[in-house]
Structure 1
Amino acid sequence: MIRAAGLSDVDALTALEQDAFGPDAWSREQVAAEVAGASRHVVVAARDDVVTGYASLLATGDTADVARIAVVPGQRRTGVGRRLLSALLGESERRGVERVLLEVASDNHAAIGLYEAGGFVAIATRPHYYRSGADAVVMERRSVPRRDG
């Protein structure tokens, strides 16, 4: 089940951050600010009331950024990430966003494959972007303009 994140999810999301991102993980305060942010859209994947993943979108104007997608290790490659990404893309369409951006570690081939399957294309590289020294691949997905009438 995908649902909106609430402040009651912050501890679980912070633990998931540590598991998924290690030294690049957000602090509890950063996660709480993300969940509470007005320009943010944060969703949680849950199974039997246990958080199995989460995703965050920052939308301003006609551009949005996928800030995070994280899935617990035991639930990876089960469709959780795809459902989370789909929820973010649906929200970006509801907000009239024309362009969605994200950064992903160049050695995270599973995530790159997920994003490519979701319509993203690589547009740039940011060398040594992550604390680990990995490069970031900047990816973009453009929405098809809506035609009224």
Structure 2
Amino acid sequence: MKSLASFWSKTYVAIAAGPEAAQAMARLHEEDFIRPWTDGEFVQLLKQDTVFAFVACQEGKGVTSPAGFVLARLAAGEAEILTIAVARSVRRRGIGRLLMDAVMRKLHADRAESLFLEVDETNAPAIALYRRFGFRKVGERKAYYDAGDGSRNSAIVMRADFR
């Protein structure tokens, strides 16, 4: 698969990743989440047959220093984004779109019927990205995310259908 995102003369590609990328994924996850997942948790997930990941890396570089990643699961025709993160230093430059495109292409090839995800209600850029990929709101989980300041944000549940 050759999905590309380019900026500042750097070309990024989405590469399928396994447990070897767990430590780098955990580092990126820690930038974005109040309760980050450990590299051990990523390894355990990536060892499951139904779980897959893509990392966005500079072309020609390995999976150990990605600009972002997405972790997803596919079972019985339904898929879900488990988590996605993009390094703060490269946000708003197409990395999230690159990763979502890689997931969507894989799921189309695997004949998935739908893809679910949850997103913090305050994450407007992510919600806009998901809508561009055909996601629509199908539910809400009130006070689901810890906002880090004592308050809680709702999770918006979104779905894209492939058939």
Please indicate, yes or no, whether the TM-score normalized by the shorter chain is above 0.5: yes
Q: Give the C-alpha shift of residue 35 in structure 1.
A: 2.1
Structure 2: gaps (5+ residues): 1-12
Q: Give the C-alpha shift of residue 6 in structure 1.
A: 2.6
Does the CA contact (< 8 Å) of 1:34 and 1:42 recur in 2?
no
Partner of 2:83: 68
Identity %: 27
SS of residue matched to 1:130? strand
CA RMSD of aligned residues (A): 1.2
Write 1 or 2 for the structure with the bigger share of strand: 2
Deviations 1:32-86 (A, max 9, x none): 1222221011011011443100001110011100111110001111111001001
Q: Give the C-alpha shift of residue 113 in structure 1.
A: 0.6
Aligned length: 143
Structure 2 distance, partners of 1:84, 1:28, is 20
Partner of 1:12: 24
Q: Quick check: 48-57 or 103-112, which moved more? A: 48-57
Runs of 4+ in 1 over 4 A off after TM superposition: none
Report whether the alignment pairs 1:43 with 2:54.
yes
- Structural mapping, 1:58-137, within 5 Å: 58-132=73-147, 133-137=152-156
Give the AA of the match of 2:98: R
Q: Give the C-alpha shift of residue 131 in structure 1.
A: 2.4
Give the AA of the match of 2:156: V
Write 1 or 2 for the structure with the bigger share of helix: 1
SS of residue matched to 1:51? coil
Give the AA of the match of 2:162: S
Partner of 1:29: 40
TM-score (norm 2): 0.83
